[in-house]
Homo-oligomer: A and B are copies of this chain.
Amino acid sequence: MMASPTVTIGILGAGQLGRMLALAGLPLGVRCRFLDAKPNCPASPVGEVIHEGFKIGPHLDRFADGIAAGGGVITYEFENVPVEAAEHLTEHATVRPSPRSLEVAQDRLRERELFASLRIDAPRHAAVHTLDELEVAVGDFPLPAILKTCRMGYDGKGQARIKSPGDAAGAWETIGGHHSVEGNGGAILDEMIPFERELSVVAVRGIDGEVRCYPPVENMHRDGILVRSIAPAPGVGEVMLAALEKAAAAVAEELDHVGVLAVEFFETKAKEGRPARLLANEFAPRVHNTGHWTIEGAATSQFENHLRAVLAMPLGSTEMMAGAHAAMVNIIGGWPDREALLRIPGLRVHDYEKSARPGRKLGHVTIVEASEGAMREKLGAVEAMVNKG
């Protein structure tokens, strides 16, 4: 018989993912301390936030203080944390997932090279480091295409569409041009996939190498921002399920990743006897917006499973309740009438306590129902109400 083994972990980033990690940790006796660049963060009400940023400095020692001695580890919820900071912190405590997961995920080119090395199909791409290289590349590339910075892009930022060769210079400027792209990892010119839908797999890999996948999720984006996810993704047969899980497990294994990661895929339309294709688009070495439904919809949430993994605890079940159907809708830019939302029976509201701003994810709501029909009915009620502004 033992007392409560309270442990503190350090989290790089104090956004909503950190907030939800802390909320998952508290019932397990796991407390979180955060590092971020700003003082008022979504995670502020659930743990101490050291808000002096990610540069190397004495505040990193303060952030790491006592964590290793107390049996804790350092992890991250923000994938654009400087790799140097994560590496520096490995001198103070175990960092899981290892900084290598960060390093690869931060660079679209290395990410695509990883997929290629694992024989995971992905959109065709070309590496471009200068406008000259881009001008050459567009001459020999199926258009329209998308130009993406290799580094620091998220939620549709750092991207521009190229419909004809003449768009190259403008697109180069849009993504930051020689100011911020050259010498900073460059960019990739990416095949534009006329995809039918986007799918993602959230997986957790334990310290012993075991990988468990949540059911695949169908996602809808608008302006590059995730709007909603449905789990399990409808119409995913055994063959596709196996391919999705195999790809996610391969990425996790290759990186010796410990914790949660998510891989996003495009599914193309099946036509003229050719089956639908799955193309890996990107992965995130962390808990993921397309896994938020697991808080209510799975036996163990992605947040709890990430904590279990990085703390070398046994992984939790990634299964849904038999027959259950979940949907998650992001609240973007502004909240609808709160009372009207709360009147939808069984709707779960997650408010990140962020100030409203166009395009900003302020929270999400989750529906879990015993039938797909009931889930879709409530999803319709939610979508009639949110993200109208």
Residue numbers in B under 8 Å from A368 (CB-CB): 321
Contacts of A370 in B (CB 8 A): 321-323
Q: List the B side residues contacting A103 at CB < 8 Å.
A: none
- Answer whether A346 and B323 are a contact pair too, CB < 8 Å, given A3-B334, A26-B23: no
Say yes or no: A316 contacts B342, CB within 8 Å. Answer: yes
Is residue A28 contacting chain B, with contact meaning CB distance below 8 A?
A: yes
Cα(A314)–Cα(B338), bound, Å: 10
Across the interface, which residues of B come within 8 angstroms of A3, CB to CB?
334-335, 355-356, 362
Contact A336 B299 (CB under 8 A): no
Q: Mark A1-14, 1 if CB is under 8 A from B, else 0.
A: 11111100000000
Residue among A3, A19, A350 having the largest count of chain B Cβ atoms under 10 Å:
A3
A212 to chain B, nearest CB (A): 10
Interface pair B324/A321, CB less than 8 Å apart = yes
Number of copies: 2
Q: Does A351 contact B (CB under 8 A)?
A: yes
> Which residues of chain B have C-beta atoms less than 8 A from A2's C-beta?
334-338, 356
Greatest chain B CB density within 10 A among A23, A352, A353, A370 is at: A353
In Å, the complex CA distance between A338 and B338 comes to 39
CB closest chain-B residue, reference A315: B342
Instruction: List B contacts of A359 (CB < 8 A).
Output: none
- Supposing A4-B353, A6-B353, A27-B351 touch, asked if A314 and B339 sit within 8 A by C-beta, the answer is yes
Given contacts A26-B45, A317-B346, A323-B370, 11 further A-B contacts (CB under 8 A): A1-B333, A2-B335, A4-B354, A6-B351, A23-B23, A28-B349, A28-B351, A313-B342, A319-B345, A319-B346, A321-B324
Which residues of A are at the interface with B, using a C-beta cutoff of 8 A?
Answer: 1-6, 19, 23, 26-29, 31, 45-47, 299-300, 308, 313-314, 316-317, 319, 321-324, 333-339, 342-343, 345-346, 348-356, 362-363, 368, 370, 388-389
